[in-house]
């Protein structure tokens, strides 16, 4: 895989633990999103946030004008860079085609791209990561109409802190042939985003099969090996141990083995579950090579949401319960109405939780939503689903059968969903937010 042009690291040379550091960053993201109004000030013209803030001022949320006046940037260096970039004339070598999207947004996009290329101005990776997150939050990644961006994949690799992967490692997995999950994979890949012409035009089914099959081999290799069958002498010792009082058995070296054998305890991690094909699709669509997509997808399912790919999918079911609980906190009337109709999240939000909303078109908006989720934590997908329900509340209240409306969510609007998510995250209690962070583990 071609190494990204950026070379600055995002973690200290001797981190305590990658998982611990990632969890701390997620908790810090909650604090930033709960106290910062950077996005709110820039999206106050959004219809969703205006409607929501107007209807909820009585519930304690400040109005958009008050939030805009209270907005202050904490880092003056980035402000200075913005003013200098605005004052400096564009050079001929870096001039890009003009886009009629507003000078402010165009400037932010240029700053984001330059930041990825040059790294943090002061050379501090920690402060640079926070500034990078702010740029993602306050502006969209510059992309064409199909959602393609030359630097988005590098942004994801940085935000998830994934090192370059040798191409030979991926090819070695491909050359192993069919994995034990190959038949299940082939049964799902042809249906992956079948109605999305953008995905079908860019990603072939063959590449999707190769990547999922390689991930299945990788997960298969990481599963614990089965224990060898005890020999005759050890079997007799264990038979004697069965008749030993439990207090003595616990002090015997065979106690752990006997308990494991009697209970048949094995790892319940699957090497493929239905839905992984849809979760994998945006990675392949945005990546510049299969190796990049493989590195991102394998990291994501093993580090960010291993609970989503277990045989029982317990992480997904926890996420569904969290959707209901968060909706009760943010929109109690809407939650009560849905519950009175027997409509809990497990009936309509399962695909959205499992795939991080990748099941809802259009795909370019999914990519913009994932920029935000990778910057501040994929656990915020729970609140993104709640935000979509809030945007649908008028239709839900007017319908005697909300299940018909919730069968398919309206097309994604990443900008409005992100703006609304930043608004409602302030209402989530810390203990509930901690459950959101850990629900997919």
Give the pair of three-digit tokens for residue 133. 């997150």
Q: How many CA atoms lie within 13 A of 260 on its CB side?
A: 12
Q: Is the preceding peptide bond at 362 cis, omega within 30 degrees of 0?
A: yes
For residue 96, being part of any structural domain is answered with no
**CA-angle at 214, arms to 307 and 23, nearest 5°:** 35
Length, in residues, of the chain: 441
* Residues 177 and 292 placed together within one structural domain of the fold: yes
Cα–Cα distance, 353 to 340 (Å, whole number): 22
* Residues 72 and 110 placed together within one structural domain of the fold: yes
Task: Determine the pLDDT at residue 400.
Answer: 81
165 CB neighbour count, 10 Å cutoff: 17
Cα–Cα distance, 356 to 167 (Å, whole number): 27
CATH number at residue 370: 1.10.472.80
CA 300 to chain centre: 8
Answer whether 49's CB lies under 8 Å from 43's CB: yes
For residue 356, being part of any structural domain is answered with yes
* Residues 325 and 244 placed together within one structural domain of the fold: no
* Residues 206 and 321 placed together within one structural domain of the fold: yes
Judge whether residue 204 has pLDDT over 80: yes
Instruction: Kindly tell me the burial class for residue 375, based on how many C-beta atoms sit within 10 Å of its own C-beta (0-12, 13-18, 19 or more).
Output: buried
DSSP code, position 44: T
- Which pLDDT band holds residue 376 (cuts at 50, 70, 90)? very high
Closest CA to 276 of 237, 248, 316, 243: 316
Task: Determine the pLDDT at residue 162.
Answer: 94
For residue 7, being part of any structural domain is answered with no
Mean pLDDT, residues 431-436: 97
Judge whether residue 429 has pLDDT over 60: yes
Q: Where are the beta strands (DSSP E) in 86-215?
A: none
Q: Highest mean pLDDT: which of 65-74, 119-128, 399-408?
A: 399-408
For residue 372, being part of any structural domain is answered with yes
Cα–Cα distance, 338 to 317 (Å, whole number): 18
* Residues 305 and 384 placed together within one structural domain of the fold: yes
* Residues 303 and 331 placed together within one structural domain of the fold: yes
Answer whether 368's CB lies under 8 Å from 425's CB: no
Q: Where are the beta strands (DSSP E) in 364-413?
A: none
* Residues 137 and 286 placed together within one structural domain of the fold: no
Give the pair of three-digit tokens for residue 281. 């699709």
| Residue showing tokens 């029982």 | 312
* Residues 343 and 414 placed together within one structural domain of the fold: yes
Judge whether residue 133 has pLDDT over 80: yes
Mean pLDDT, residues 236-247: 43
* pLDDT tens digits, one per residue of 36-85: 444 443 444 344 444 554 454 444 434 434 433 333 333 333 333 333 44
**Radius of gyration, alpha carbons of the chain:** 24
- Which pLDDT band holds residue 147 (cuts at 50, 70, 90)? very high
Task: Determine the pLDDT at residue 116.
Answer: 85
Cα–Cα distance, 287 to 156 (Å, whole number): 10
The three-class DSSP label of residue 269 is strand
Closest CA to 207 of 149, 301, 305, 283: 283
Percent residues over pLDDT 90 in the chain: 55
Closest CA to 208 of 197, 193, 195, 220: 193
* Residues 323 and 369 placed together within one structural domain of the fold: yes
- Which pLDDT band holds residue 160 (cuts at 50, 70, 90)? very high
| Residue showing tokens 């003595």 | 248
* Residues 206 and 57 placed together within one structural domain of the fold: no
Judge whether residue 378 has pLDDT over 90: yes
Mean pLDDT, residues 181-206: 95
Of the three residues 263, 283, 316, the one that is the final residue of a domain is: 263
Task: Determine the pLDDT at residue 419.
Answer: 96
* Residues 117 and 180 placed together within one structural domain of the fold: no
Domain that holds residue 179: 167-220+270-438
Q: Is the Cα torsion angle 81, 82, 83, 88 positive or negative in sign?
A: positive
Cα–Cα distance, 366 to 399 (Å, whole number): 27
Burial 320-343, CB ≥16 within 10 A → b, else e = bebbbbbbbebbeebbeebeebeb
* Residues 428 and 352 placed together within one structural domain of the fold: yes
Instruction: Kindly tell me the burial class for residue 82, based on how many C-beta atoms sit within 10 Å of its own C-beta (0-12, 13-18, 19 or more).
Output: middle
For residue 92, being part of any structural domain is answered with no
Answer whether 373's CB lies under 8 Å from 381's CB: yes
For residue 361, being part of any structural domain is answered with yes
For residue 160, being part of any structural domain is answered with no
Judge whether residue 250 has pLDDT over 80: no
pTM of the model: 0.71
- Which pLDDT band holds residue 390 (cuts at 50, 70, 90)? very high
Catalogue the long-range contacts made by 112-117 (C-beta closer than 8 Å, 24 or more residues apart): 112/136, 112/139, 112/141, 112/142, 112/155, 113/142, 113/151, 116/5, 116/6, 116/151, 116/154, 116/155, 116/158, 117/5, 117/6, 117/151
Percent residues over pLDDT 70 in the chain: 65
For residue 331, being part of any structural domain is answered with yes
Task: Determine the pLDDT at residue 29.
Answer: 60
Judge whether residue 330 has pLDDT over 70: yes
What total of structural domains would you count in the chain? 3
């Amino acid at each position: 895989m071609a190494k990204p042009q950026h070379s600055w690291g995002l973690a200290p040379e001797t981190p305590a633990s990658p998982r611990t550091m990632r969890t701390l960053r997620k908790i810090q993201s909650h604090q930033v999103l709960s106290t910062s109004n950077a996005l709110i000030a820039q999206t106050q013209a959004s219809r969703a946030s205006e409607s929501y803030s107007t209807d909820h001022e009585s519930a304690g949320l400040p109005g958009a004008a008050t939030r805009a006046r209270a907005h202050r940037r904490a880092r003056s260096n980035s402000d200075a860079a913005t003013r200098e970039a605005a004052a400096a004339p564009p050079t001929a070598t870096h001039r890009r085609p003009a886009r009629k999207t507003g000078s402010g947004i165009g400037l932010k996009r240029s700053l984001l791209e330059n930041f990825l290329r040059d790294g943090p101005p002061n050379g501090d990776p920690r402060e640079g990561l926070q500034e990078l997150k702010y740029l993602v939050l306050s502006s969209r990644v510059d992309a064409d109409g199909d959602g393609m961006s030359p630097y988005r994949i590098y942004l994801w690799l940085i935000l998830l802190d994934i090192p370059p992967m040798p191409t030979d490692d991926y090819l070695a997995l491909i050359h192993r042939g069919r994995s034990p999950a190959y038949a299940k994979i082939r049964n799902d890949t042809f249906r992956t985003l079948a109605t999305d012409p953008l995905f079908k035009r860019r990603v072939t089914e063959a590449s999707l099969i190769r990547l999922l099959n390689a991930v299945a081999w990788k997960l298969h290799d990481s599963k614990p090996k089965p224990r060898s069958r005890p020999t005759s002498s050890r079997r007799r010792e264990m038979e004697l141990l069965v008749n030993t009082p439990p207090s003595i058995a616990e002090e015997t070296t065979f106690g752990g083995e006997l308990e494991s054998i009697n209970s048949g305890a094995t790892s319940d991690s699957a090497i493929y579950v239905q839905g992984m094909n849809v979760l994998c699709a945006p990675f392949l669509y945005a990546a510049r090579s299969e190796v990049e997509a493989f590195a991102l997808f394998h990291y994501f399912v093993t580090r960010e949401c291993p609970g989503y790919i277990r045989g029982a999918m317990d992480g997904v079911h926890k996420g569904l319960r969290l959707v209901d609980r968060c909706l009760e906190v943010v929109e109690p009337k809407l939650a009560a109405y849905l519950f009175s109709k027997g409509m809990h999240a497990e009936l309509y939000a399962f695909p959205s939780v499992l795939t991080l909303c990748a099941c809802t078109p259009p795909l370019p908006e999914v990519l913009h939503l994932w920029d935000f989720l990778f910057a501040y934590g994929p656990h915020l997908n729970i609140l993104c689903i709640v935000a979509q329900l809030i945007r649908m509340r008028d239709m839900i209240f007017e319908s005697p059968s909300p299940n018909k409306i919730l069968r398919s969510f309206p097309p994604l609007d990443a900008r409005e969903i992100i703006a609304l998510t930043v608004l409602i995250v302030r209402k989530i209690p810390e203990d509930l937010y901690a459950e959101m962070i850990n629900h997919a583990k």
